[in-house]
Structure 1
């Protein structure tokens, strides 16, 4: 960026950098680096632009985050913002901090909120069926339906600990705490470790690089 763009960046984000880093796992320099990436996307929208467009973030999910399920991406965006078109800088910072977090509890809360499209706090059978439908495809419809039904039954057997026909966050968290591999049991909503490693390098999040296992 030229000197004018750098000056504008500092003027726009100086206070946010200070405020966010004070209560963040990111260092101040890392917050600035993450926001600098955000600002470059804003600049791509024209001289009067103030925010990143959602479509830009969709592209990032495909290229950098390696999350290619459109429905999951839409749910992730609804989790971080209610704006129909734009991503503000705070939502961008919050998303990157969740993605880079090594705290299983933080990651569980995020994944569950993405899956819980109704906002009810529970994953019911209808919702699980909708998610599982995308996992199977083929020409034999009867066989596919049977596989889907078996998968739904298995997931409820695994997660519905009190057998009330719903999966609560506490039930989900209890299972995932013992078996972290089940964190994204209804579809990928977080970058892979290798994806996080790439994000850390691209965004100069050096404090996280040593923590990530490839």
Structure 2
């Protein structure tokens, strides 16, 4: 494995390769990311792990919240928590697989993958459908102001609008079939219940920091 990080000497590169080489090979084979992209991401992961002590092998979940804040520009703990709970059930650590999975989802152009992920994040009750209550809770983050009555009215109106837009079969809930049908027609609505996917400027930063060829190519197009 070539030395991709100038801040690490040959010995440390060898240590990194010994620890994560097999993982990189496995993750490259089962994701859309190429070897260089996975390797660069794992170098960053490795540096987070090093901060946890010489015997550490996994990134702490609390470190991931800093990534959400500083790189993804997500300041909401609830959004970060729901996102992480979708990719891993571990309450303390972020595995290499979860780390790579998150970046794959955040950078893919595969709409089906993005829809599956977003719906899972929004499906907070684990019932395979999104009900009016869940939509209403999400809408609470959309409006703020001093006039509580007006804000509540706006929230109710938005909840009603979203239900009418997405509940295609009029059964009172939004199924994945309802959601995917609407989003396939209008992909911009993929994260309709709140910010999930990094915008273009954040993806541009990620691309240059992590040598993401696939992102750079999509940004140029």
TM-score of the aligned structures, taking structure 2 as reference length: 0.92
Q: Where in structure 2 are the equivalents of 1:16-95 lying within 5 Å?
A: 16-95=23-102
Is this contact kept in 2: 1:67–1:190, CA < 8 A?
A: no
Q: Displacement, 1:17? A: 1.3
1:114 aligns with 2:121: yes
Q: Displacement, 1:114? A: 0.7
2:210 to 189, 203, 213: 203
- CA shift digits 1:26-73 (9 cap, x unpaired): 111221111111101111222122111112111111111112221111
2:135 to 128, 139, 151: 128
1:104 aligns with 2:107: no
Query: Which stretch shifts more, 132-141 or 116-125?
Result: 132-141
Ranges in structure 2 where 5+ consecutive residues have no aligned partner: 1-7
Q: Distance in 2 between matches of 1:77 and 1:51?
A: 15
Q: Distance in 2 between matches of 1:45 and 1:169?
A: 39
CA RMSD of aligned residues (A): 1.4
Is this contact kept in 2: 1:124–1:166, CA < 8 A?
A: yes
Q: Distance in 2 between matches of 1:142 and 1:176?
A: 32
Q: Distance in 2 between matches of 1:27 and 1:4?
A: 24
TM-score of the aligned structures, taking structure 1 as reference length: 0.95
Bigger RCO (CA 8 Å, 6+ sep): 1
1:179 aligned partner: 186
Count of matched residue positions in the alignment of Structure 1 and Structure 2: 214
- CA shift digits 1:163-187 (9 cap, x unpaired): 1110011111111111112111111
Q: Distance in 2 between matches of 1:120 and 1:186?
A: 17
SS of equivalent to 1:185:
coil
Q: Distance in 2 between matches of 1:194 and 1:109?
A: 24
Give the 4+ runs in structure 1 shifted more than 3 A.
none
Query: Which stretch shifts more, 174-183 or 155-164?
Result: 174-183
SS of equivalent to 2:124:
coil
Evaluate the alpha carbon distance shift between residue 12 and residue 136 of structure 1 in structure 2; reply closer, same or farther with a 3 A threshold: same
